Each structure stands twice: as structure tokens, then as C-alpha cells.
């Protein structure tokens, strides 16, 4: 069976050349095929253009829009990629649209086939069972991720001041299962369902394992490789 790899970034992946290099190197190909799914941003051009600006000279690029869909056979198209990268935006709305178009089923098949799944913010959170989102206008539980990875996830741990206390409270109270938190420009790579590696695009960025400890939450710092 091919390695089932997911790279979940806390945010701002577009700005980090080291994280892009790391992600492309995972494919083992000189010019991998990388497809962007910008559904969480409602297929906004300002999420799509930076993707092309960063990677045009390093990979064969494409994107699949579902709000202005042009691809008829989504399964064949997505299973022809080396990397599927998911943008930030509204996680709950993205998952609802994916389910209508059958992308949730296709992307699981892609993962099981060894295609690298990756993303930032919403694209880091969606792979887990649950996590912290602002999809509903205030920070709270997502209430139903894809569940490829066990537990929960909190992106933007350093860049949005409410994220850390919200995640700690939700895990400590049992409203979210134990999981992981990531600052912007930190990526966690999972092989199967297990954390395999942490990489950072800036020296001071952090990642944590967050678990319940009585009525509180315990943070354990995870160091990049």
C-alpha cells in the first residue's frame, strides 16, 4: 500500500518557500502535478493567483473550482495529481460543498492511493475529526471534519489571539478531543494516522500536542525536525 500522507499547515503556507519545497519534495518528482482546491475561499482569484505565482516554475499546476465548475470527471482529474492542496477560508462551507460534489469521497481515494494531501488553515483542519473554526462567525468546534486523521486541530495558534484560549478551553472541557495546534508557517506531516514530522518555515513558529488534564488542557511543545 502507498504511504497515506497529509501535511497540515497552521496558516500562511503561500508565503513560505521552505514549506513549498518540502511539500514538493515529498512526491519524489522533478515537476509534480499539484492541484489547488480553493473551495473554502469560494474560488476567489486572490487565493488562486498566489499559488501560480509561487509554483509556476516548479510544478505542473491546476485548480478545481466548484463554484464555477468546469471539470466534468472530478474523480479522474483529482486522481491524476501528485499533490492536492486545499486553501484557507470557511471550513464548514467547504466541506458542505465537497459533499454535494462528491469530493470528500474522491479525496479519500486519492489519499489511499498515495497522493499527498495538504493545505493551510481550513486546508489543515479539514482532515481531522474536529477542530477550532471561525466558520460560524465566532470560534468554536467545527463539528464534523473528514476524519482521515484522529482527534482535533487548531490552526493560526499564534496569529489570531483567541485561538489558543479557545482551543485549550474546548479540549479541557471535553467539547473537542485531544489534538494538535500549529502556528502559521508550521506544518505537521502525518503518515497513515500517525504524526511523522514537523517542519517550520520560520524559526520561532511552534506546534503543540494539546490534551485534557482534569478540567484544563495540557500543552506539550513539539519541536521541528
Alpha-carbon 126 to chain mean position? 6
Provide the strand spans (E) within the chain.
Answer: 5-9, 33-37, 60-63, 83-86, 116-120, 128-133, 140-141, 149-154, 179-182, 186-191, 194-200, 207-213, 216-222
| C-alpha cell at position 145 | 471534519
Is 41 an active-site residue? no
User: What is the Cα–Cα distance from 216 to 199, expressed in whole angstroms?
Assistant: 28
Is 87 an active-site residue? no
Residue of 16, 121, 135, 152 marked catalytic: 121
**Which residues are known catalytic residues?**
121, 156
Amino acid at each position: 500500500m502507498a504511504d497515506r500522507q497529509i501535511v497540515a499547515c497552521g496558516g500562511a503556507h503561500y508565503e513560505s518557500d521552505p514549506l513549498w519545497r518540502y511539500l514538493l519534495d515529498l512526491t519524489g518528482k522533478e515537476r509534480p502535478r499539484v492541484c489547488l482546491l480553493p473551495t473554502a475561499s469560494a474560488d476567489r482569484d486572490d487565493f488562486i493567483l498566489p499559488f501560480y505565482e509561487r509554483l509556476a516554475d516548479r510544478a505542473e499546476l491546476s485548480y478545481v473550482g466548484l463554484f464555477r465548475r468546469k471539470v466534468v470527471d472530478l474523480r479522474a482529474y483529482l486522481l491524476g495529481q501528485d499533490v492536492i492542496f486545499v486553501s484557507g477560508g470557511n471550513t464548514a462551507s467547504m466541506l458542505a460543498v465537497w459533499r454535494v460534489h462528491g469530493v470528500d469521497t474522491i479525496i479519500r481515494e486519492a489519499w489511499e492511493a498515495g497522493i499527498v494531501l495538504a493545505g493551510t488553515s481550513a486546508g489543515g483542519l479539514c482532515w481531522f475529526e474536529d477542530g477550532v473554526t471561525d466558520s460560524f462567525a465566532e470560534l468554536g468546534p467545527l463539528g464534523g471534519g473528514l476524519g482521515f486523521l484522529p482527534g482535533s486541530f487548531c490552526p493560526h495558534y499564534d496569529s489570531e489571539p483567541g485561538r489558543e484560549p479557545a482551543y485549550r478551553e474546548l479540549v479541557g472541557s471535553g467539547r473537542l478531543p485531544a489534538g494538535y495546534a500549529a502556528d502559521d508557517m508550521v506544518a505537521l506531516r502525518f503518515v497513515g494516522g500517525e504524526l511523522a514530522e514537523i517542519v517550520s518555515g520560520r524559526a520561532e513558529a511552534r506546534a503543540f500536542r494539546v490534551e485534557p488534564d482534569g478540567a484544563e488542557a495540557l500543552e506539550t511543545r513539539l519541536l521541528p525536525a
